[in-house]
Every structure is written in C-alpha cells, then in structure tokens.
Amino acid sequence: MEPSTSTRKQFTINDFEIGRPLGRGKFGRVYLARLKENNFIVALKVIFKSEIEEEGLEHQLRREVEIQAHLQHPNILRLYNYFYDDTRVYLILEYAPGGELYKDLQRNEKLDQQRAATIIEELSDALTYCHENKVIHRDIKPENLLLGLRGEVKISDFGWSVHTPSLRRKTMCGTLDYLPPEMIQGKIYNETVDLWCIGVLCYELLVGKPPFESSTSNETCRRILQVDFKFPSSVPAGAQDLISKLLKYHPLERLSLAQVLKHPWVREHSRRVLSPCVQMAS
C-alpha cells in the first residue's frame, strides 16, 4: 500500500486490531496493531488533535507526515499511511521489533565496535538519502532511533513528537547533549548539523554517555561551544579519529557523509546487512 494521497485507501480505526502500547511521545501514544484484512503488523501512532492545536502544530504535523510518507529507505522507519477522525490523527508506521536504541544502550551501557560502526554506516546512508531529498533531520539521538528485526537502525522521528530543538527545551532530558554549536548560538544552520549529531552518537555508543554531558545545561552549552571533550582510553584510535573529524566547531570542516561511509574504522568494523523493504499490502 503506497502512501500517495491520490490513490490512498481511506482507513478507519475499525480496520485494525489494537495490541499493547509500544511507547508514548509528547503528543501521542504508539500501539502495536494488526490490519484485520491481511494480518499485517504495524505500529499505530495516535495523536490527539486538541494537543496539537493547543501548541499550534497542525502545520508542522502535516509537513512532517508529508515528508516521511515519501521517504523510502531500509534505515528510515516507513510511514505507510495516515487517517483521522474527529478527535485524533492516526499514523500507520512500520513496526520495529527491536525497540529503541536508547533502551538498548541503557541495558548494555555501551556497544562494541562492530555494532557501533554498523549503526554509523546505516545512519550515514539514511541521512545521505535524506539530504538528497532536501530533508535535514536535526534531531538524531538514541531516543529517535529504533531497531529492526536484525538489529538494523531505523530513524523514527521526523519531528512530530518534538519541536525543532531550541534552548527553550534545554530542561528536557538529553536534548541539549546533541545540539551543535550553531544551533545553540541561534545561527542559520544546514544539513551539517546532522554530521555533528553522528559524531555525538558515535561517542555515546562507544562510551555510554554523550561527550559534553555535564551536571548543568549551562556547562553542557559551554563545553559544546568550546568543543571540550575527551576520550576514555577504551575508545579505539580509529573511532577517535572519526569522532574528532565530525565534532568540529565550524560546520564546513566536518567530514561529509560520503567521507564517513568511506572512513577506515567504519569500513573495517561495520557488518551492515541490507534488509529488503517490506511493502504493506493494500
């Protein structure tokens, strides 16, 4: 079933059997669901219109849904379709059985080189595709990354559960840690913000916490602006090289995605497996 609006099948909630809750975001809850007609398993995100309207986010939701409906990549969570009733909007999403990378990190504290390099390759490939389609993600972090059946990473959040990160959100747990200097300073930014985030993520995957983490948000800001971080001796030299070349204050000095994909550490350790894109039958 393709999400193009012209031929879009009109779903209602009665087309689904609703299962257990999978998680909740700022504006919605996500449930495991099954399409009655063919038993296809999906994740159904239920968003209350009143909450979106209260925040003045109808336009953003519409835009983000349009963006994600057209993105098809093995490392980007599919948005198959959407529908709505009087009070709610429903997004029919690909189900990622591995859950959140964030929870995986909490369980394991940190990942080995092979797993970390694989995730970095998958992400860099997915972001290359996004940037070619003029989409900047802006919010790559473990909470927004889900895991597929084989542990492959899936970028899941294209902005309908959080606003564009801004300093107003610095009280929100974990958000500030991934902000690049140019966003903290309120400067105009471009797709190179995603490169900074890959560097922060790679560090967190290997070390178990982000590089600029501090006890206060002011201190985190200061450290980001001074690019003040150190590597524990446990981080392999190749990974240190990659991370150092991504965490550059000047956006144009950061490695490009193509260079990340070619980086010796990624090439040597990644075990990326390409899984087929599953289509949702109409």
| Spans of all domains in the chain | 5-93, 99-269
Q: Which is nearest to 135 in space by CA: 67, 199, 202?
A: 67
pLDDT of the residue at 267: 97
User: What span, in angstroms and rounded, lies between the C-alpha atoms of 153 and 96?
Assistant: 9
CA torsion sign for 131, 134, 138, 141 is: negative
What confidence score (pLDDT) does residue 278 get? 52
Counting DSSP H helices and E strands in the chain, the numbers are 10, 8
- For residue 161, the model assigns a pLDDT of 37
pLDDT value of residue 164? 39
Specify whether 86 is catalytic.
no
pLDDT < 70: residue spans in the chain: 1-8, 159-175, 275-282
Catalytic residue among 15, 86, 125, 139: 139
Q: Distances from the Cα of 59 to the Cαs of 52, 69, 113, 153, in angstroms?
A: 9, 15, 41, 28
Q: What is the DSSP letter of 76?
A: B
CATH number of 5-93: 3.30.200.20
pLDDT given for residue 172 in this prediction:
35
Q: Rounded to whole angstroms, how far apart are CA atoms 150 and 200?
A: 24
Q: What is the CATH architecture of 99-269? A: Orthogonal Bundle (1.10)
pLDDT at residue number 133 = 87
CA nearest to 35, candidates 52, 20, 53, 15? 15
What does the alpha-carbon distance between residue 134 and residue 231 come to, in Å, rounded to a whole number?
Answer: 33
> 160-208, pLDDT tens digit by residue?
433 334 333 333 334 689 999 999 998 888 889 999 999 999 999 999 9
